Chains A and B, each alone.
Chain A
Amino acid sequence: VTFHTPPVFEKVGPDRTIVALKRGGSKAYTDAACAAIYEQMKANPKVTVMTAAMCQGNKLEKVRTDFPERFFDVGICEAHAVAFAAGQAKAGLRPIVDIYSTFLQRSFDQLFQEVALQNLPVTFCLDRAGLTGPDGPTHHGVFDITYLRLFPNFVVMAPGDEQDVAPMLQLALAHDGPAALRYPKTNLEKVERGPQPVELGQAEVYEWGTDGAFVVFGSLFPTAVKAAERLRKEGLDVGVINARFAKPLDRGTILRAVEELPLVLTVEEGTLEGGFGSAVLEAANAAGLDTRHIVRLGIPDRFIEHGERGELLADLGLDVEGLCGAVRKAVGAGAERALLARDE
């Protein structure tokens, strides 16, 4: 990585020595995932980790040094990485495929045949899931929710903040089948709370509102919490649910919101086509519920250009202001609908 994408340099001191510019030092999701992987490898000798030439990008150097016999860098061979992991899982190991979301797309058929069809306990850590920023459309990892939830047997989850990362990895490794967790290329964020334990297919209700709810899958959970705070100042009581699982979906919690609340906004850093919001719509439809008050927020059906992640999220209405705007718009439309209904 040092030479692949070198850091920004600066000249310091009287002799203008060139050194790498120190960044803020904040930890990224990659650091949290890597630390969790390290702990799991320390605790369980059956855990192995695969990377497809992304050892440094995924910050796995310490894993490579301390567990050389259980660390496998297969080169830029994503399809093989997945099938190889499936073989290990069949033999009785608990492999983790630590991979960028966009590159896992190259293993679509192996996800289907070697992993999902055989129902093997392979864990996928999808780094750089969502908008990756300056790399642009070749590197945005926005399709994984859709293509992973296609397959029977798969568990698809996303940590709402840094506190969810380690428990989710633990759950994935204890689960007797394939499981994936996705997290973005950004600094860790934390929502102050006593987090509920991560349990298979269970969403976490952060707060319940009377005017509506954000049902957030993954990294935009802290954004939704901030948006809800701002809306409360405007007199709108919108709750926040940390969905945690796109599959299996917590039908109990989410469908209760759909049934009881006048507005439900699904939020995800992934494509709207077949994504988490679609899963909610499908579940509501299957339960015979009205879905007209469900608004899906996510990546629209076009390729997203490059730019800083924050800039891109703002453009797509996935920042705090965007989420608030979506609520205001929906509430306005809802009020109009109610007026029309009354007049009729």
Chain B
Amino acid sequence: MERIGAMSELLSRVAAPADLKTLNDQELLQLAQEMRDELVRVLTTRPAHFASNLGVVELCLALHLTFDFSKDRLIWDTGHQIYPHKLVTGRFKGFETIRTKGGLMGYPNPHESPFDLFMTGHAGCSISCALGLKSGDDLLGRGENYSVAVVGDGALPSGIVFEALNNAGHLGKNLLVILNDNKMSICPRVGALAQCLDRARLTNFYQGSKRKLRKILEKVPSSASAPTRRSTRSATPSRPCSPGGCCSRRWASSTSGRWTATTSRGCAAGCARSKARPVRSCCTSSPRRATASSKPATTR
């Protein structure tokens, strides 16, 4: 099973997430395609988690472009959607060994990489852990660190998710929860909450907001020439808002369509966070949130 040379031209150059910042929009698009090709190439040779990983390629890139996870905190819930994250955190070379004895684990593994924080294999705990990490960072004088939980719509109805949201809202921590509403939870998802998410997407408000958002993004100059999207950690206003708006404006403009297509339902909303107004709890795929999150953080 040979790698086709051109197939991973860019991917083989990404030794760490910092390398992503050297790529322009076209290259990021190409990288996303290379990542998908690599996922398909390896995952068709053995039983492994497939669709969940294909669905978060752009989300993964957006997160790593937006945050610095050598300091910021990221928990994938569940961890079986970690493959793209592994590809851009120095584990592309060993990716062929995934889920084989002595090879890479098919879940986050702190023993493999400092970018993996928790071995998450059971769904629902990401928000609790991310909140604990944020709370710990705050108490230990690292309040500038961000904490991000990516939770699927399959994990969302878990009891512990509501326990965590209840506590997060009370503590008022600066926490980002991304809902990956892909309509799956191993089997097709079921339940009243799923219906709520579906109904929310059918409203005129949501559809209209989505159209407006697209128009706004189209006007944003796409910018091979744009400076690095995150020059300093302290420059909060310049930090992009949330993956709901595909994080970085130029990244959003170039990939939002793709993202929607590849996640099949679109990855829904993040809630933006700014120091001026900490997020109360998290986001849903509600239209109001989705729209708001597309604005720069400073406007919130």
**Interface residues of A, Cβ cutoff 8 Å to B:** 45-46, 48, 69-70, 72, 74-75, 77, 79-80, 83-93, 95, 109-110, 113-114, 117-118
Contacts and interface: CB of A to CB of B under 8 A. Distances in A.
A211 to B, nearest CB: 50
Nearest to B120: A113
B118 A79 contact: no
A110 B160 CA distance: 10
B139 A93 contact: yes
Question: Top 6 nearest A-B pairs by Cβ distance?
Answer: A87-B132, A91-B136, A83-B128, A77-B163, A80-B163, A88-B136
A77 B134 CA distance: 19
A114 B125 contact: yes
Interface string B111-135: 0000001111110010011111111
B260 interface: no
Contact of A69 (B133, B137, B139): B139
B275 to A, nearest CB: 18
A90 B132 contact: yes
Majority secondary structure of chain A interface residues (helix, strand, loop or mixed): helix
Interface string B170-203: 1100000000000000000000000000000000
A109 B164 contact: no
A83 B164 contact: yes
B8 interface: no
Contacts of B163: 74-75, 77, 79-80
Interface residues of B, number: 30
A118 B118 contact: yes
Nearest to A110: B125
Contact of A86 (B73, B110, B129, B140): B129
A300 to B, nearest CB: 32
B296 to A, nearest CB: 28
A204 to B, nearest CB: 35
Interface string B200-234: 00000000000000000000000000000000000
A173 to B, nearest CB: 15
B140 A113 contact: no
A28 B129 CA distance: 33
Dominant secondary structure of chain B at its interface with chain A: helix
Contacts of B120: 113
Contacts of B164: 77, 80, 83-84
Contact of A84 (B121, B131, B139, B142): B131
A252 to B, nearest CB: 32
Contact of B133 (A70, A80, A91): A91
A45 B133 CA distance: 16
B125 A75 contact: no
Given A90-B117, A90-B118, A91-B135, A83 B167 contact: no
Q: Which of A84, A85, A87, A118 has the most CB of B within 10 A?
A: A87
A109 B139 contact: no
Contacts of B159: 79
B166 interface: yes
A90 B160 CA distance: 19
A77 B128 CA distance: 11
A48 B136 CA distance: 9
A146 B110 CA distance: 28
B139 A87 contact: no
Given A93-B140, A110-B125, A87 B133 contact: yes
A84 B128 CA distance: 5
Contacts of B128: 79-80, 83-84, 86-87, 110, 114
Nearest to B126: A83
A88 B133 contact: yes
23 contacts: A46-B139, A48-B139, A72-B135, A75-B163, A77-B163, A80-B128, A83-B132, A83-B160, A84-B128, A84-B167, A86-B118, A86-B128, A87-B134, A89-B132, A91-B134, A91-B142, A95-B132, A109-B122, A110-B160, A113-B125, A114-B118, A114-B128, A118-B119
B136 A75 contact: no
A46 B142 CA distance: 13
A89 to B, nearest CB: 8
A77 B119 contact: no
Contacts of A92: 136, 140
A75 B140 CA distance: 24
A17 B275 CA distance: 55
B45 to A, nearest CB: 28
Given A84-B132, A86-B129, A86-B132, A91 B137 contact: yes
Contacts of B166: 74-75, 77, 80
